[in-house]
Amino acid sequence: MDFLVNLDVDDLERGIDFYVQAFSLEVGRRFGQEGVELVGGPAPIYLLAKDSGSSAYAAAGAVPGAQRHYTRHWTPVHLDVVVVDIEAAVERAIAAGATQEQPTVTAGWGKLALMADPFGHGFCFVQFLNRGYDEIATA
């Protein structure tokens, strides 16, 4: 089984610039002006060009009239990016256009930085310490 990550963006070139700079990804395949594949991480990321204000829900039974917007929004899905040096990762992402939403916190299992990309998608940097999640795992 493989996972593919699809992210809507309202500016494809700006999306490419951000994800290449922030995460050291590389452009794989292009799909005309509609999308691009970014490679170099554990799963390919596909940036899909979708205009702000376009229909956000195409599935039957979805919220009628919902439109895409690229301000910060909550979604039950986000990416966790495991890094070796969280301070360097945060600095690099901010330089590329990300926003750090809260100060980095440290727990027994590791460090966590809550971030958002320029398109309103949430992601977190995680730096494991000690035994990582085994520090808090229960039977």
Asked if residues 79 and 42 have their Cβ atoms less than 8 Å apart, the reply is: no
Residue 137 pLDDT class (50, 70, 90 cuts): very high
Predicted local confidence at residue 15, as pLDDT: 97
Beta strand spans in 52-129 (E): 79-82, 99-100, 105-106, 110-116, 122-128
pLDDT at 63: 64
CATH topology for 5-52+69-135 is 2,3-Dihydroxybiphenyl 1,2-Dioxygenase; domain 1 (3.10.180)
Of 13, 43, 7, 52, residue with least CA distance to 30: 13
Per-residue pLDDT of 126-136, as tens digits, reads 999 999 999 99
Q: Quick one: pLDDT at residue 126?
A: 97
Give the pLDDT confidence of 28-67 residue by residue, as tens digits.
Answer: 999 999 999 999 999 999 999 998 877 766 554 556 677 7
User: What is the pLDDT at residue 58?
Assistant: 58
Read off the pLDDT band of 13 (50, 70, 90): very high
44 CB burial (10 A radius; 0-12, 13-18, 19+): middle
- The string of pLDDT tens digits covering residues 59-105 is 545 566 777 778 887 777 789 999 999 999 999 999 999 999 999 99
Q: In whole angstroms, give the CA distance from residue 57 to residue 48.
A: 15
Taking residues 15-22, report their average pLDDT.
98
Strands (E), 50-92: 79-82
CA dihedral defined by 129, 132, 135, 139, rounded to 10 degrees?
A: 180
Which residues, 6 or more positions from 107, have their beta carbon under 8 angstroms from its beta carbon? 135, 136
Cα gap 84→4, rounded to integer Å: 23
